[in-house]
Chain A
Amino acid sequence: MSSEEDYDDEATGLYRKWVGRVQGFLINMGCDQGLAEEIANDAFLGARRRWAYVRTLEAPEGYVFKIARNERSKRQKPHDNRARDLHPDPPEALPDVDDDVGLDIADRATVRQALQQLPASLREAVTLRDAIGLSEAATAEIMGVSVGSVKRYTSEGRQRLRLLLAEFRPRRGGKDR
């Protein structure tokens, strides 16, 4: 097997492990599903282009998050502006799902709505730390700020969310990783 194929396999392993969380981060930051999927794929493909370097990193996912974060900042506004000019899609019939799945969707929507009310830096810190589960150091590196700033953003974000979600209790307590 050539090193290129080895690299492809390693990059695919990273993709399988992290694509959900990269996409979750983008959606929590305000991207719609389609754009989040597009940016997440580009971020992993971009990391694959630099795989000889990325594979040496202690946390290669941080590199992917950094690309994804940068791309979101470039693409989201034009994407949203274009979308505003289009006719909205006709409402889709709600899928016939069992109660658990339906409640899960409702939980996500409620929490995400609360998250959208935070300023971007607080939302980003809280998402990376609590939703994605990254360390303070990794979050600081991705956001390009100090660890102290991450602590401050996270603490303030949690406090605000606690108020916004005072009445909310997740039906299934979230998933363990």
Chain B
Amino acid sequence: MTADEEPVTSILRILGDGGLDDAELDRRVSKFQGALRRLRDDPAEAARLDALVMDAEHSRAAVTSDDSRGGTPIAGDLESQQDEVGHPDSDVVSEFGGWYLRNRALVVRFLMRLGASLDAAEDATQEAFAEAWRRIQLGTWADIVNQETWIRIVALNIHRQLSGQRKQPASVPVAGLPEIPQPGAGHAELTAGALLVLDTLRSLPFELQVIVAFKMEGFPASVAARYLGVTDQKARNLLKTARRTLVRKLALLSDDETSLRHPDRDKNSASRSRNHGPDTVEQHGALVDDSVAEPSVEREENRISSEEMRRLSRELDAMLAAGDEELLTCVTGQRW
């Protein structure tokens, strides 16, 4: 601390005690002891406090402080509390079971779009549904307004926490082994189409990945905006940027991925060079620049018509949907 900072520190000390004098402190302690006694006979209040503690333990601050707890797993602590929480009735259990079956594969796919491997996505999804189950036991599940959004955000947070440097288990470094595409759908491994979509999505910056992932799940841009802490308009702009980037990247990739190449692509490439007429849109030139155009085509031929842009956009949607479909088939055919 420098000599200049010391007076500030001494000034701040007057704020440290919360303004409690001795009489007030005695009154508060007595009130606290009363609350402790009541707590023994009030399971609802106990459950509320347990939820509050769990929430704090799952917050970002709690995660980063795990190292200082000598690696005590949070889950272990929670397991010891299982008997203290309520037991939901059979209707709730059945309803949650159905919701779980409908949503689990979708959440795994959502995480895979955001860069998780299949195993990592399954782990984080499992944790997220376990957290949802704890909320049901605590009676706070119904308080969540949009449960579909909630489960994805919780799963994403868990995935990001688990994939952090501090959480990596000690292991032989074999990272970088590629997942191998297999022909056909409905098998356990990822197909080429799914891998192409995943690789392309993973190559985007994280913000764009989030925007696209929520959009592909059918959520409005405002959901991703809230997650990223940006305005709705900014999220919509990011979505446009993401789509432009994907058009460029997928067009590039399809040069090598002949199995995924659009059947009309060659014909369309030819028509593209003929099609820059009066309705040419200058700004869309950036969408295809040297990725869609043939290397020998002159710069002005990179200009692209509105019609062509719409076609490229449709092609992008079809490619994402096809890859997505394969991805879901792979995920659901995995183990459950």
Contacts and interface: CB of A to CB of B under 8 A. Distances in A.
19 contacts: A11-B36, A15-B32, A19-B18, A20-B19, A20-B25, A41-B32, A45-B32, A71-B56, A111-B11, A126-B12, A132-B16, A133-B16, A144-B65, A161-B8, A161-B12, A162-B8, A173-B10, A176-B13, A177-B13
B271 interface: no
A73 to B, nearest CB: 8
A175 B22 CA distance: 14
Contact of B56 (A28, A36, A66, A161): A66
B264 interface: no
Contact of A45 (B14, B49, B56): B49
Nearest to A74: B55
Interface residues on B, range: 35 or more
Interface residues of A, number: 67
Contacts of A71: 52, 56
Nearest to A54: B53
A145 B64 contact: yes
B62 interface: yes
Pick the most buried of A11, A15, A108: most chain B CB atoms within 10 A of its CB: A15
Nearest to A49: B49
Contacts of A150: none
Interface in A48-101: 48-50, 53, 57, 66-67, 69-71, 74
Contact of B35 (A45, A53, A74, A142): A45
Given A24-B16, A111-B11, A143 B61 contact: yes
Nearest to A143: B61
Contacts of B40: 4
B36 to A, nearest CB: 5
Given A69-B61, A158-B9, A22 B18 contact: yes
Nearest to A5: B36
B286 interface: no
A55 B68 CA distance: 15
Contacts of B50: 46, 49
Interface of B: 1, 4-5, 7-20, 25, 28-29, 31-33, 35-36, 39-40, 46, 49-50, 52-53, 55-56, 59-65, 68-69, 72, 77
Interface in A1-40: 4, 8, 11-12, 15-16, 19-28, 36-37, 40
B62 A53 contact: no
A120 interface: no
B14 A177 contact: no
B61 A144 contact: yes
Given A69-B61, A141-B65, A144-B59, A159 B5 contact: yes
Pick the most buried of B18, B33, B40: most chain A CB atoms within 10 A of its CB: B18
Given A107-B14, A158-B9, A42 B19 contact: no
Given A107-B14, A162-B4, A12 B77 contact: no
Given A12-B33, A37-B28, A47-B53, 12 more contacts: A11-B36, A19-B18, A36-B18, A41-B35, A70-B61, A108-B14, A130-B12, A130-B13, A142-B65, A145-B64, A158-B1, A174-B14
A153 interface: no
Contact of B17 (A8, A20, A26, A126): A20
A115 interface: yes
Interface string A105-143: 001100110010000000000110011110000000111
A126 B69 CA distance: 25
Contacts of B49: 42, 45-46, 49
Contacts of B53: 46-47, 49-50, 67
A177 B16 contact: yes
A20 B20 contact: yes
A19 B65 CA distance: 22
Nearest to A11: B36
> Nearest 6 CB-CB pairs, A to B?
A144-B61, A23-B18, A24-B18, A174-B13, A70-B56, A130-B12
B12 A48 contact: no
B53 to A, nearest CB: 4
A104 B57 CA distance: 37
A141 B13 contact: no
Contact of B25 (A16, A44, A162): A16
Contacts of A25: 18
